[in-house]
Structure 1
Amino acid sequence: MGDSTSAEIVDEGSAPDGGHRVLQVEPAGTETAAGRLGWRAARTRNAILDASKKLFLERGYAGTRINNITDACGISRAGFYTYFRDKREIFDTLGQATFQEILQVVAEWESIPRPCTQADVVAWVWRYFAFMDQHGAFILSAQSGPADESVGAASNKMQMRVAWLLGVHLRGRQRTPTDAPEALGLAVQSMMDRTWYHCHAQHLPVEDADVVNTIGGFITAVLDA
């Protein structure tokens, strides 16, 4: 997080000619975006993105209207269209930024000591929860995204890419390596995502520290088994 450089994501088969479309990703709030738009404009754009994340989670993508977003931001519809063509563009923008940042979080396993302690794992789980504080609303609302097969296929591909990469990192530290790293990564990620939702969206009376330490213990047990 906080990396102001843009990244490229290849969306296979999405170009008109059936080739690859390269999407330039610039996370909201970066110096690059702010410099291009001006600080006031960048602040308004980020406010639109933040409000949309929350509304997508609360109402679902289909249930969120432009006027819901403008009301939440305190801007006019004309102000909205200054920055985005429609809510589909917002969804795509959020998805690209989220994908870039979760890859960075997963890649942090490369710098964790070998062998790692439970404290090392717990520190990484805290890092994942910090990522979810920024992007969890979008991740958990993405299942109600645009009713477009290409969007669903791209989303599934990104999810499996993250699950596989996380699983590979974990498998490389297991005493008995799994034959299905994608399943391991998906199970661990799902546990963290859903737990974050219960604690931070539903506000169940459970302390973050207790949850994070428990998850860290589970992951450590999987590595040591």
Structure 2
Amino acid sequence: MTNMLLAVVVGLTAGAALRPAVVALAIPAGRPADCPACSPRPAGPTVLRLLSSGCENCRGQLLDAPWWLPPAATAAAFAAVAAGDATGWYAAAQYWIAFLGTALLLVDSAVQRLPDALTAPAAVGTLVLLAGAAAEGEPGSLPRAVAVAVAAGVLFTAFALGSMGLGDAKLAVSLGALLGWRSWQAAWAGLVLAFTLGALFAVFLLLVQRRSRKSTLALGPALIIGTLAVLATGP
């Protein structure tokens, strides 16, 4: 219980720190990075705008979402990791994905984009932390993690030739490595659960929001939630 409460508190803090990055990356294509209400608009991005939650002139919010959403989502992700009772470097890898994965989930849900600024450090950090776990002799397999990561990247790159984007393939590398470290069964469970959640979400949008079958849907959230759900079942 103590570990769970600590994870939630740390998740809330990390999520609050994460919000400026989510705001900066969740700007729809074709929309200026500055607040449309400002006149004249600032010319080009600035460090202040990237580090703040809104426009540097009027502080209007650039992301149409409640301020508490990133902290709450990150806290939930950290709680899922804590529920799995993982320890050591492998736990650090899980929290790394929970942290960056929350940002990716929110950005992809908002603008259907998985930016390299998040997917690249997610993949590199995961592999480095798993290498640390292997060096310490923690239960798991680094070769299997690498094999699943490569297989997931190739599989989702092939999917990208259809309706999916390359962002999903880049995200699948880190998620596949994390699940592959545990077992082949975990990797398969994460994949099946992700596609099941994606299908259910697509049906929900078709029925509730009256989307068409040709509408583009974000798969990133389903991949992240599916992975965290599998991780929550144990170390």
Under a length normalisation based on structure 1, what TM-score does the superposition of the two structures give?
0.33
Structure (1 or 2) with the greater strand fraction: 1
Under a length normalisation based on structure 2, what TM-score does the superposition of the two structures give?
0.32
| Greater relative contact order, per chain length (Cα 8 Å cut-off, separation 6+) | 2
